[in-house]
Structure 1
Amino acid sequence: MGKISGRIITHEKEFLGTIEFDSSSGLITNVSESIESDSRKFSEDCIIFPGFGDIHIHAREDVSGKHCYKEDFISAGKAAVGGAVLHVADMPNNPVPPIDDSSYDSKNALTKKSAIHITLYAGIGPNTKPLSKKVPYKVFMGPSIGELFFEDNAGLENVIRHYKGQDVSFHCEDPEILTANKEKPTHEERRPKEAETLATDFALSLIEKYELKGKLCHYSTKDGLQKIIAAKKRGINVSCEVTPTHLMFDTDMLTETNHKWFQMNPPLRGREDREAMVKGILDGHIDFLATDHAPHSIEEKLKGTSGISQLDTYGLFVTYMILKLGIPLQTIAKICAKNPGDFVKPYLPEKYGKGFGEINKGYAANFSILNLKKPFVFQKSMIKSKSGWSPFEGFEFPGSIEAVYFLGEELNAERI
């Protein structure tokens, strides 16, 4: 048996308490609102959160092994633990994408080597059909890395009609807008805000028409967020993500020397859009903090490849959200733990009990413990991702990661 105690935050409440867990099963056996003398005590400077989950990463490994130089399931697990993340969901745009039972099972077998749990999305592309078992799906509405995308909306709807009632996440960028702007001088102009907002309209119409459980990925525009809010009010089953980069950075900080490092899809937006994303979290309209971790090599970034490596700094960024953006602790527990746990719950093996994201009896003993009084400078040498770089190199975060537990075992990225 194991016990930890201290200041505990869930999506429902904050309390001083003790968590007991069975070290053999890795599940929580009891939670009490008192500090027990025989527990490992965390100081009042620390917050014990349910284990964080990042439901949007690109771990790059598949049966071909072609992109393992960027990342694999072992290195992604190390980067996640270093970032206080205890489960991730991996996207399907691989050289051999998981688009049917066989390709999905083959890729899923590779995830078992990771130190944490990895949920896989299946890909939706031209001519695909749903798998025989329940899995989450991802659709790229416009060109991205890989071949799983659509040239027009008609082609997308012709396929998505087969996925009625399924759990589908959308990368919202209108392919026709992207084509019309492909000769513009900057990345931000080639992928304008209109590409996201128009694609949002279409994605929401598909979610409603085909009764999907919809999620809009890495959201970035104020106008589009208003469409999502209105859709939720109409009863459409839709949620949305935001990335750390769209919460912290905007086009005002782009320079000739850093623009390649901050190139991603969707691109950085203006200050008004960035502030709207922060407000969206504060107002309860954004459901997930998800990194869209894209571990391209340094050489690829210098050539202009889109994507940002940021799984290593997830937990540190949460301290920035709390102490600099003023995000309430219970909101953090909701968008970083509870909601990601609920998202993957239908796809988890029985060994995880009631699942992830809550501190209650029967749930996995996964904990992300942050110190809010101990600033931390993130160094390049701390990166566990194979990408070998981070937009936060040399940045001082206002807090730090105190400890990370997965199934009751304390993990250290240096030793897994």
Structure 2
Amino acid sequence: MDYLLKNGHIYVNGEFFDGDILLQNGRISALGVDLSADNATVLDLQGKLVTPGLVDLHVHFRDPGQTAKETIATGSRAAARGGFTTVAAMPNVEPVPDNAARIKHMLDRNAQEAVVHVKQYSSITINRAAGDCVDFAAVKAAGAVAVSNDGNGIQSAKTMWEALLGCKAAGLPLAEHIEEDSLKYGGVMTAGKRAQELGLPGAPTVVETSQLGRDLALAKAAGAHYHACHISTADSIKMVRAAKADGVQVTAEATPHHLLLADSDIPDNQDTNFKMNPPLRSAADRDALVRALADGTIDIVATDHAPHTADEKAAGFCGAPNGITGSETCFAALYTDLVLTGKLPLTRLLDVLTSAPARIFELDCGHILPGGAADIAVFDLAHAETVCAADFASKGKNSPWVGRELRGNCYCTFVDGKLVYKQEEKA
């Protein structure tokens, strides 16, 4: 089916124009004003924002092995509901995609079961365990877009060094979950005043910065592309900024929850919708992240979409797993709290969610071009809606934004010209 999207506020190459966009045979066939087309379904967008489909380089679909939490099908529908048309799935599933055959198998399943484009990470090490690295050339040839052991940091400097050299030779980005386990001291949130008030064990922020410093030194020596996952502290930002100035090939992501929340927002020691890894940091760290996103030190936003079951998350801060869902609330939460408050231009928000992630992982997506793939998202900036867990497409309902009123919810999403999500009309 072809679609003519009329009267949109369309974002193209960093600028906006008001007009129409025609989707035919899975491609963008025309951009302009007062377009018409025979046999196309017409959607009058009435000024809604039209963007390239959003790109998320960090999601967890839990499939195979943990499908009570999420599946490729439900995770991809959640992505579509948030306006994402391309995502990259982390490899902490069972079995781990750590060789060419498993990567190919995952990519086949992603293509068959997902409603959006799902790229695939390989692990860095075999079975994500301490020890030998994967065959980086082989997993790249099989289709892996990057490697990561996300969920765990690489504890051995020798392993990280060998991985960076292997990734450099293969031309793969290495995306690191930055966490020095020996410094955690059993902490379940950031050490400080709020941890003391809640009576919870805290971990110092050097858990992140000590390993980041090691990795940046190794990345410089190896000449490899090092991607810092979910950085969360002001000191990490300083280190990334200095490394970039020194010529290190480093890119960095931040999550919506670290950009918008602080440890002071944790209401009590039972609300595990505020428990994630890295944990929420101080308000000063949060504000530093926003500034770094604005000035380009942080390259992209990635959701770290991490669904869990309700039973798992009911175990309190000391017993529940880390992580929250993020795909369905990402754009609206950032638009509401950063763009509407004047902290970030809308053009910058769109860049870090579309063209920038595509660019740093060399993906052919994240843009609106005549003749290009019709991967399109439409957002309603005019109306506010209260986030309701029952509306989520994800199996995971673990979100700190449930009950919050947000503007900028996704109205509809197209993947290769197919309508894969449309907001239901509410009375």
Q: Give the whole-Å Cα distance in 2 for the aligned partners of 1:85 and 1:109.
A: 20
Deviations 1:268-315 (A, max 9, x none): 000000001111122122221111011111111223211111222123
Deviations 1:158-214 (A, max 9, x none): 443322242111111123323xx23x5x43235421121122112222222222222
Where 1:308 maps in the other structure, the secondary structure is coil
1:305 equivalent in alignment to 2:312: no
Contact 2:81–2:412 (CA under 8 A) maintained in structure 1: no
1:381 aligns to what?
390
1:150 equivalent in alignment to 2:166: no
Contact 2:161–2:218 (CA under 8 A) maintained in structure 1: yes
Displacement after TM superposition at 1:253 (Å): 1.3
Contact 1:11–1:333 (CA under 8 A) maintained in structure 2: no
Q: Give the whole-Å Cα distance in 1 for the aligned partners of 2:422 and 2:394.
A: 11
1:352 aligns to what?
none
Q: Give the whole-Å Cα distance in 2 for the aligned partners of 1:413 and 1:123.
A: 34
Displacement after TM superposition at 1:394 (Å): 1.3
1:222 aligns to what?
234
1:267 equivalent in alignment to 2:279: yes
Question: Residue 252 of structure 1 aligns to which amino acid in structure 2?
Answer: S
1:168 aligns to what?
174
Contact 1:50–1:359 (CA under 8 A) maintained in structure 2: yes
Contact 2:410–2:423 (CA under 8 A) maintained in structure 1: no
Residue correspondence of structure 1 range 4-15 to structure 2 within 5 A: 4-5=5-6, 6-15=8-17
TM-score (norm. length: structure 2): 0.85
1:127 equivalent in alignment to 2:132: yes
Where 2:214 maps in the other structure, the secondary structure is helix
Displacement after TM superposition at 1:343 (Å): 4.2
2:357 aligns to what?
340
Displacement after TM superposition at 1:327 (Å): 1.9
Deviations 1:115-141 (A, max 9, x none): 11100010002212314215333334x
1:194 aligns to what?
206
Contact 2:27–2:374 (CA under 8 A) maintained in structure 1: yes
1:31 aligns to what?
31
Runs of at least 5 residues in structure 1 that lack an aligned partner in the other structure: 347-354
Q: Once superposed, which parts of structure 1, at least 4 consecutive aligned residues long, lie more than 6 Å away?
A: none
Q: Give the whole-Å Cα distance in 1 for the aligned partners of 2:245 and 2:19.
A: 37
Where 2:236 maps in the other structure, the secondary structure is helix
Contact 1:319–1:400 (CA under 8 A) maintained in structure 2: no
Distance 1:401 1:163, change over 3 A: closer
1:351 aligns to what?
none
Residue correspondence of structure 1 range 314-393 to structure 2 within 5 A: 314-320=330-336, 321-324=338-341, 326-346=343-363, 355-393=364-402
Contact 2:55–2:358 (CA under 8 A) maintained in structure 1: yes
Q: Give the whole-Å Cα distance in 2 for the aligned partners of 1:157 and 1:191.
A: 26
1:20 aligns to what?
22
Displacement after TM superposition at 1:414 (Å): 8.1
Q: Give the whole-Å Cα distance in 2 for the aligned partners of 1:360 and 1:405.
A: 14
Contact 1:368–1:405 (CA under 8 A) maintained in structure 2: yes
TM-score (norm. length: structure 1): 0.87
Q: Give the whole-Å Cα distance in 1 for the aligned partners of 2:56 and 2:416.
A: 17
- Say which is worse superposed, 213-222 or 307-316, in terms of deviation: 307-316
Count, aligned residues:
391
Runs of at least 5 residues in structure 2 that lack an aligned partner in the other structure: 126-130, 192-201
- Say which is worse superposed, 237-246 or 380-389, in terms of deviation: 380-389
Question: Residue 30 of structure 1 aligns to which amino acid in structure 2?
Answer: A
Distance 1:48 1:90, change over 3 A: same
Question: Residue 77 of structure 1 aligns to which amino acid in structure 2?
Answer: S
Q: Give the whole-Å Cα distance in 1 for the aligned partners of 2:12 and 2:333.
A: 18
Displacement after TM superposition at 1:261 (Å): 2.1
Displacement after TM superposition at 1:264 (Å): 1.1
Percent of paired sites with the same residue: 25
Contact 1:51–1:367 (CA under 8 A) maintained in structure 2: yes
Distance 1:246 1:149, change over 3 A: closer
State which of 295, 305, 323 in structure 1 corresponds to 2:307: 295
